[in-house]
Amino acid sequence: MMKHFLLLAMLVLAPCLTHLTEAVPSTLKPESQDRDKTSYTWTDRHEAIKLRHQSVKPEYVIIGDSITHHWGGEPADWFGQYGQASWARLFGPHTVTNMGFGFDYVDNAYYRVEQGELDGISPRVVILMIGTNNLGHRKDSAQACADNTKALVSLIRQKTPASKILILGILPRREKELGPVIADTNKHLASLADNKTIFFANPGLALQSNEPGIIRNTCTSDGVHLKPTGYGILGEEIAGTLSRIDSSYKGGKVPRPETIDGIAPEQIQLAAIGDSITDNYHKAQPPYQDFLPIWKEFYTPYNAVNLGVSGNTTDDVLARIGNQGILDHISPKVVQIMIGTNDTGQGISEEETFRGIRRVVDKVRAKLPESHILLIGILPSNIHHWHVPAAAEPVKKFQTDMKVNDRLARFYSDRSDVTFLDIRHVFLNPDGSLRSELFYDPHVVVINGQKAGPLHPDTKGQRLMAETIHPFIERLLKNRDDSQPD
């Protein structure tokens, strides 16, 4: 009888044992590592997370490598956190554990979970963002990376059976040869989702250049790791996914301010987004930067807010929309956008600058579906002696900017919700040369002992620009008022 019982037990257990064996592929090697030992101590961080989970019961955990480790949150160590503003906005009031470990493979994350990092907790969502080191450093195949991740997902399911699992696609990198491998891996990872308890999202698409799998330079510090700009864009993408899969998610928002630029949010009729050329309207520094009176004359009557920040690229604007929530809690009738000159100044191509401006327009449209967008073309310039890559070929930058404007004019020609306005003629002579006398830089900006070339309009140039734009703002605001029901 006992032999028959044991035989029956073995037959019952056999399928389970087979399943567990299949769940751990031969490519997976669970182990600790010390590849980043000069930056942090792997075992100390592992123990710190286990200790944290003895008393802290997080609502979310995010398992990852250095990209997660460098982001923000707790437990913090000396590895460095470069996206804390984005982290705070992404997770808001929630309790979260950062389970990112610099230079981890999926294999090392598997080992960490196996050795107790999820024991005693039951997060609402376990987020996975790992695998880039398997592809970029160990040169795993797409299938091997996906198989290892599948095993990790199975282990997480065993450890926290009530948790939802969100698998994030491998983020784009700079190495062109990895683009196809990243894309292939993400296809495999997407197939792991059942959209009930296991979900897949690919927020890295928002960081990708026009080449699949290749990250935009403005989002990365070294081709792999993210700048604060990259974290801002990434965080907003993840926030959107968490909102869809977790009804208890309350992050991704900023508190409603009492005023913005001294104006109650509900009274704002116009928002101006841009870089230093927009930001300069805050300044009142005669004789070349007496701009505040112009703003007060042409924008203040519409309860306008100035959302320009010096040095911003299109990706910086996207990150500010994500990190700072600059469009949260407002519903202006018109949004003026003038951005792109810093993109081409950094040597970003015509195609990428064009796409970057479109991304900003699309994001504003998604945030403010009822607002009309007034898109201003890139101003002409001659940036010789500036400290940016494009200063080596200022004529090329000028030509690139004008080509971007031409493409934007064609692209938005049939849009009823976007008005494109090219005001280059204000700053050009009849022969097409630049009216340098309308820019303050040659008078006041000296870089490495050299006078900088024309980039920022002076008081006269800024007034001419405002006078040119103003009739369009008036008409758009009137159209918006006329379209409102009585």
Q: Which residue is listed with tokens 């400290």? A: 387
Question: ∠223-228-231 over CA atoms, to 5°?
Answer: 80
Torsion of CA 362, 367, 369, 373, to 10 degrees: -60
Task: Return the structure tokens found at 7.
Answer: 């035989």
d(CA 111, CA 31): 5
pTM: 0.89
Domains in the chain: boundaries:
24-245, 265-483
Mean pLDDT, rounded, of the chain:
93
Cβ contacts of residue 73 below 8 Å, gap of 6+? 81, 87, 91, 96, 97, 98
| CATH architecture assigned to 24-245 | 3-Layer(aba) Sandwich (3.40)
Residue 215 and residue 169: Cα distance in Å, rounded?
Answer: 13
pLDDT tier at 483, thresholds 50, 70, 90: low
Residue 73 pLDDT > 90: yes
The answer for 19, left when phi > 0, alpha when psi is -120 to 50, beta otherwise, is alpha
Give kind and range of the element (H or E) at residue 444: helix 441-444
Topology adopted by domain 265-483: Rossmann fold (3.40.50)
Residue 326, Cα to own-chain centre: how many angstroms? 14
Q: How far apart are the C-alpha atoms of 379 and 274, rounded to whole Å?
A: 12
Contact 125, 163 (CB under 8 A): yes
The count of residues in the chain is: 486
CA pair distance 18, 41, nearest whole angstrom: 36
Higher pLDDT, 331 or 13: 331
At a CB cut-off of 8 Å and minimum separation 6, what does 268 contact?
260, 303, 304, 305, 330, 331, 332
Q: What is the pLDDT of residues 87-106, one digit of tens each?
A: 999 999 999 999 999 999 99
CB atoms within 10 A of CB 86: 27
Query: What is the rounded CA–CA span in Å between residue 421 and residue 305?
Result: 20
Q: Which two tokens stand for residue 312?
A: 């911003």
Domains 24-245 and 265-483 share a fold: yes
Instruction: List Cβ neighbours of 157 (8 Å cut-off, separation of 6 or more).
Output: 165, 197
Q: pLDDT-derived band of residue 7, with 50, 70 and 90 as boundaries?
A: very low
Confidence of residue 287 (pLDDT cuts 50, 70, 90): confident
Segment 302-347, tens digit of pLDDT: 999 999 999 999 999 999 999 899 999 999 999 999 999 999 999 9
Asked if 129 and 66 touch (Cβ cutoff 8 Å), the reply is no
Token pair of 227, please? 């700048």
pLDDT band at 11 (very low <50, low <70, confident <90, very high): very low
pLDDT score for 23: 61
pLDDT of residue 440 exceeding 80? yes
> Mean pLDDT across the stretch 138-159?
98
Helix (H) or strand (E) holding 481: helix 459-483
